[in-house]
């Protein structure tokens, strides 16, 4: 990377680098707080990522949502490391700190597996809708 007086890195580029780095960390995502009118009019939305820059020094604040079941301290440390490494390797800037605040824990809907042998996966409907009894056999004819 060539450094010189004509090299400028826009704030949006730094936000995108942090976003891409977080996508590599399993079980976390930046939150999207409600946008203010100035953010909407200016075309910029906060993504749960705030970056301050002073010359070659950068400070990053992350506000994250973590999937239920993920160990929060491990996820926070992984997010810090990914953002620090991504920012340093892509820009050459000195990342002074990466602060993490976990704002929420989210339940993630489990996708059905292709090989599940349940009758629901086979027919795509509830067995009670097909007329099964509580004992699991076919419904009696009336």
142 residues of the chain, pLDDT tens digit each: 445 555 788 888 999 999 999 999 999 998 875 455 555 455 444 568 999 999 999 999 999 999 999 999 999 999 999 999 999 999 999 999 999 999 999 988 766 666 555 444 444 444 444 454 445 445 544 4
Report whether 76 contacts 40 (CB < 8 A): no
First-last CA distance in the chain = 80
Q: pTM (2 decimals)?
A: 0.64
Strand partners, 66: 28, 105
Number of Cβ within a 10 Å radius of residue 49: 21
């Amino acid at each position: 990377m060539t450094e010189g007086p004509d090299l400028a890195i826009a704030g949006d580029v730094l936000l995108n680098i942090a976003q891409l780095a977080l996508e590599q960390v399993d079980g976390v995502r930046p939150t999207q707080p409600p946008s203010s009118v100035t953010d909407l009019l200016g075309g910029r939305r906060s993504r749960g990522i705030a970056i301050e820059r002073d010359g070659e020094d950068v400070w990053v604040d992350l506000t994250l949502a973590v999937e239920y079941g993920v160990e929060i301290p491990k996820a926070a440390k992984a997010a810090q490391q990914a953002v620090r490494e991504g920012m340093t390797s892509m820009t050459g800037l000195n990342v002074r700190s990466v602060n993490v605040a976990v704002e929420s824990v989210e339940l993630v809907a489990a996708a059905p597996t292709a090989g599940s042998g349940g009758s629901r996966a086979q027919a795509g409907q509830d067995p009670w809708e097909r007329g099964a009894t509580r004992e699991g056999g076919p419904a009696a004819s009336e």
